[in-house]
Amino acid sequence: MRILLVEDNEDIAASIAEFLEAQGCECDFAYNGLSGLYQAVNHEYDLYIFDIAIPGMDGLQLCRTLRQEKNDYRPVLFLTARDTLNDKLEGFASGADDYLVKPFELQELYARLGAIAKRYYGGNNNSLHIGDLHINLDTHEVFRDGREIELAPITFKLLQTLMQHSPKLVSREQLTHEVWGDDLPDSDSLRSHIYKLRQLIDRPFKKPLIHTVQGHGFRVVDK
């Protein structure tokens, strides 16, 4: 899981990240709400952990902004010292999926993250999600904004490769090798398949997800 942790106490943030990374997670940091919002909008994460009492924009407003203005419904867990019933109700009302009060045990935090990830992603580890685009690696089903999209095998493999590397850039050479292996196609084949993929994945929708970095390659990112 790739997790964004927004916590202004650097010691607590480092302790959480060290534990989660030992469990195989990848953690990014932000120490205030505005920085957290910037990272959430410009990078792809599976889960968010927000403190509430953070500078710039508190965790409640950060969660509401992601939900209401950015249409981002990926799981949010509040990790905070605010422990009254009203605090918890306000947290859930802002859009949180779970609420854990400090002090806490790291094992419990990890268990809660796993539980909300399972609820959100359906317990399927063989699925990829970027924005409103979802693919199932077992069934080869592709959905965007709830609409099913049928892809040919090569086009599906292209999309899978780009999503697995997201938000990183994939060069033309790397993409060609990962999709076709040693049986390399002619020089126009990749361009043709990328065009077909864009026609199906991006053209019917308001926001493009497939981006070309001229002279370097491609990436799939929700920005």
Number of other CB atoms surrounding residue 16 within 10 Å:
23
pTM of the model: 0.58
Q: What structural domains and CATH numbers belong to the chain?
A: 2-121 (3.40.50.2300), 127-220 (1.10.10.10)
Q: How far is CA 198 from CA 5, 7, 70, 155, in A?
A: 33, 38, 23, 10
Predicted confidence band of residue 187 (pLDDT cuts 50, 70, 90)? low
Say which DSSP state 222 is in.
-
Average pLDDT, the chain: 88
Is the pLDDT at 6 greater than 60, yes or no? yes
Question: Is residue 123 pLDDT above 70, yes or no?
Answer: no
- Higher local confidence (pLDDT), 92 or 117: 92
